Chains A and B, each alone.
Chain A
Amino acid sequence: MSNTKSVLIVEDEKVLRDVYELIIRTLGYTVYTASNGIEGLKQLKKHKPDIMLLDIFMPIMDGQEVLRNLNKADFPNIKIVVCSNMSDSKVTQEVLDNGADKFVLKSSIGPNELKSLINDLALKA
């Protein structure tokens, strides 16, 4: 299966980053990865992905800051899904206010849920 769409995974936890990459690649997307916010912003500018899977709690620069530093005008069509185990509703609201398209609780998503999540967003991107 091949897909012209690309996905950027910004996640500090390597085992999760790897499994996400593995699952999403099986769907045919081009996958880029970053292990913190700074690196994520660099990859974002460099590759201009269609979808960004963004963690919140990360070293160096967290997901909230990535959202705040991101100039949405540069990426008019990007779909951002914040995937975190920070479940406070205040946090989830902030994320949406800062420009994310969706918030998902990391622990509630298995491989199947992840697949349908990315495919749904790819249709909109």
Chain B
Amino acid sequence: MLTTDNNLVNCQLAAQYLGVSVKTVRHWAQSGTLKGKKVGSRGDWRFSPDDLNKMIKVGNDKYESIKKFLLEHADTIQSLANQKHITHLGTENAQVKNLKKNREDYVKIVKEFANNLQKTTQGEKVFLELGTKIAKKSVEQGLTLEETVDGTIFLKQAFWEKLGESGLLQQLTTHDLYSFNQIISLYADIVTSKIIFAYHSYYKEQEERTLRAEELRHTSDNQFSMLADNIQNLAWMAEPDGYIYWYNKRWYEYTGTKPKDMEGWGWQSVHNPQTLPQVMERWVASIKNGKQFDMTFPLKGADGVFRPFLTRVMPVKDKAGKIIQWTGTNTDISEQKDAEEKLLESQNRLAAIFESVADGISVFDINGNVILVNKSLAEISGFKNVKDMKRNLEYFAKIYKLYLPDGTLCPVKDWPISRVYKGETFTHYELLAKRTDINREWYFNFSGTPVLDDTGEQILAVVVTRDMTALKKAEKEQEELVKISHQRNELLKLNKAKDEFIGIASHQLRTPATVVKQYIGIVLAGLGGELTPGQRDYLQTAYASNERQLKLINDLLKTAQIDAETYRLNRKSYSLTNLLQDVADELQTVLDTKKQRLIISAPDQPINVRIDETEMKLAFANLLENASKYSYELADIKVAIKSTSKTVKISIVDTGVGIREEDQVKIFDKFTRIDNDLSDTIMGTGLGLYWVKNIIGMHDGSITVVSKLNKGATFTVTLPL
């Protein structure tokens, strides 16, 4: 409330209080509308607060009908303002739709006009707030300053128009109408100005903020770009929906692409079509669930070569946890992958070598435990599988006995593994290994070496075992073979010497005896002149003895040949009947001297046998001669030939002195001569039957004898057909 020293208010203050001009206040005082009194030298008006309040009350009453009208018609006024604004913009204008947005506020402006007609101080405050509110709301709703301010102007027009139509203004005094206009204009100006200021400050603020943000962004972008461009990784950023809007320099360098190729989803062009679907699947899933993902896939380089990249995609979230962007990095792992592959390859290769090598490999830790053995070792040392060998030295010491090449026992302290533990590296350590549990033995060739760590401390012991058993056996066999071959050569040499001896002997022994035979022969034939009966007798004894000598030589040579197995048959198909007949013919003189008869009985069909004619003739001659010799004069000697489908049997039956049973087994032995009634008168070498039996044997035949003393003998020769 306005106060003065004496509780009186001057014109200026009164005008302010009443919301009218000083002139109006003076006018009201002079006309008596407002009670006042003139004070001071200049005699200006002073008013008491009560009188001023009466003025207001009167004013309030004055505008009561207008207030009522405005409150009732606020919506109509707003509608009219809206219509005017639309007419102004034209119905086609896109801004038209924005006009509805401030409808409530404009209605409110009209109502506040009405409510604050008498209370300008309060009204000023109300409209300041209202202006700010409208401005803020308009900014928020994207209305331009012009749109908003125009709205208030058209509202003002509609306000006066409607009020004019109501006829209420005519009821006012000119002064009151003036005052009323002053108040409305004040309020309208406050709102408009406030809107303008608010807009201005908002724009300013917004601009500054943008500028600051831009600056900040620029700085941080620069730093980030520098960082991002200088890393070896490929990097990129994407909108929350996955639209990639930025790649680092490395990306463009590696892929050899341009920003416009890459924009949005252009990155798919550097992917391998085969792996792209999986990549897309993961990426889309991440966009959906907002989770980071790591994946390795190939990206095509500028050189056209696909290299594997480990890709990490991370969401960037705001404070509220909302994703505002995605960042991605792609790390070239081709070298790493190459190295990994090489390592794997070399490991695989090592493993393959380890398993495929024929040598047995065992790796021990320093405590004598087997930590690794290969299959070969299990195989060459009689274990079923590798698992059974994962034991310790103590166990092996129990089941193995090792021997040095000289045959002495190799103590465990000198075992290959023990030598490695002593720090030795060695090869060709040959030992004979005997397994006592399964009773087997091997010749092993051991190599060994310790494995040291960086500090030179032994951490492992490696023993390589080569199975030399087969080799050793082969070596032994070889030695044996050499020995045998040597022996054989010796034998061959000896045999050759023997052959030569027999050949030479047969010639050299016979020749002088033959010469004797010829010369005694010609003397006996009378070529050296007439012989006396005595001389003839002596020479005939000499001749017979020479004959015996020759026969002995022949028999000895034949026996020697048979024994040396150098006797070779010359077999041909020959008629057995003819052969025996020939022999009989040759023996005729012998038979004649004892007046014996030889009777041959044979089938009509010739029986052909594959025989050595000469040898077989001699053999049968021998048998027939024996039959004659051991038979008495006038005896019959019967030869029978009988054949079956597979064999032919020739039996020679005599009626002579016979052979004792105990002698029968001996007669085919070498140098066997049997005592009997006739033996003293018969010259024999004791080789005949031995030789006969061998000749028949060489023809795959056999000879047997059936005899009783003094009841004759039957020799049966069986030959295969």
A13 touches B521 (CB 8 A): no
- 5 cross-chain pairs, A with B, having the tightest CB-CB distances, nearest first: A111-B521, A85-B510, A110-B521, A93-B570, A107-B550
A111 to B526 alpha-carbon distance, docked (Å) = 11
Q: Tell me which of A92, A93, A108 contacts B550 (CB under 8 A).
A: A108
List chain A residues, Cβ under 8 A from B514. 16, 85, 106-107, 109
Interface residues of A in 12-34 (CB under 8 A from B): 13, 15-16, 19-20, 22-23, 26
Q: What is the size category of the interface that chain A forms with chain B?
A: 20 to 34
A122 touches B (CB below 8 Å): no
- B-contacting residues, A79-95, CB 8 Å: 84-90, 92-93
B-binding residues in A (CB < 8 A): 13, 15-16, 19-20, 22-23, 26, 57, 84-90, 92-93, 105-112, 114
- Report which residue of B503, B514, B554, B570 has the largest number of chain A beta carbons within 10 angstroms of its beta carbon: B514
- In the assembled complex, 9 residue pairs joining A and B whose CB atoms fall closer than 8 Å, in A order, are A13-B515, A23-B527, A87-B557, A88-B503, A90-B570, A107-B553, A110-B518, A110-B543, A111-B521
What does DSSP make chain A's interface, helix, strand, loop or mixed? helix
Known: A23-B522, A89-B612. Is A107-B513 also a contact (CB below 8 A)?
A: yes
Q: How far is the CB of B501 from chain A (nearest CB, A)?
A: 13
**Interface contact B518-A111, CB-CB below 8 Å:** yes
Bound together, the chains give a CA A22 to CA B553 distance in angstroms of: 27
Which residues of B are found within 8 Å of A26, using beta-carbon distances? 527
Judging by beta carbons under 8 Å apart, are B522 and A13 in contact? no
Chain B residues near A108: list those with CB within 8 A: 550
Q: For residue B143, give the distance in angstroms from its CB to the closest CB of chain A.
A: 141
Nearest B residue to A19, CB-CB: B518
**Which residues of A sit under 8 angstroms from B515, Cβ to Cβ?**
13, 15-16, 19
How far is B522's CA from A111's CA once the two chains are assembled, in angstroms? 6
Q: Hey, what's the 0/1 contact readout for B604-643 against A, CB within 8 Å counting as 1? A: 0000000010110000000000000000000000000000
Q: B521 — which chain A residues lie within 8 A by C-beta? A: 110-112
**Inter-subunit contact A86/B507 (CB<8 Å):** yes
Q: Which of A23, A26, A57, A110 has the most CB of B within 10 A?
A: A110
> What residues on A are CB-neighbors of B557 within 8 Å?
87
**When the two chains form the complex, which single residue of B517, B522, B569, B614 contacts A22, counting CB atoms closer than 8 Å?**
B522
A16 to B515, CA, bound (A): 6
Cα distance A85–B614 in the bound complex, in angstroms = 15
Chain B residues 497-516 with CB under 8 Å of chain A are 503, 506-507, 510-511, 513-515
Q: How far is the CA of A106 from the CA of B511 in the complex (A)?
A: 8
Report B-chain residues with C-beta under 8 Å of the C-beta of A112: 521, 525
Given A107-B554, A110-B517, A111-B525, check contact A86 B503 (CB 8 Å).
yes
Asked if B519 CB lies within 8 Å of chain A CBs, one says yes
* Cβ-based interface call for B568 (8 A): yes
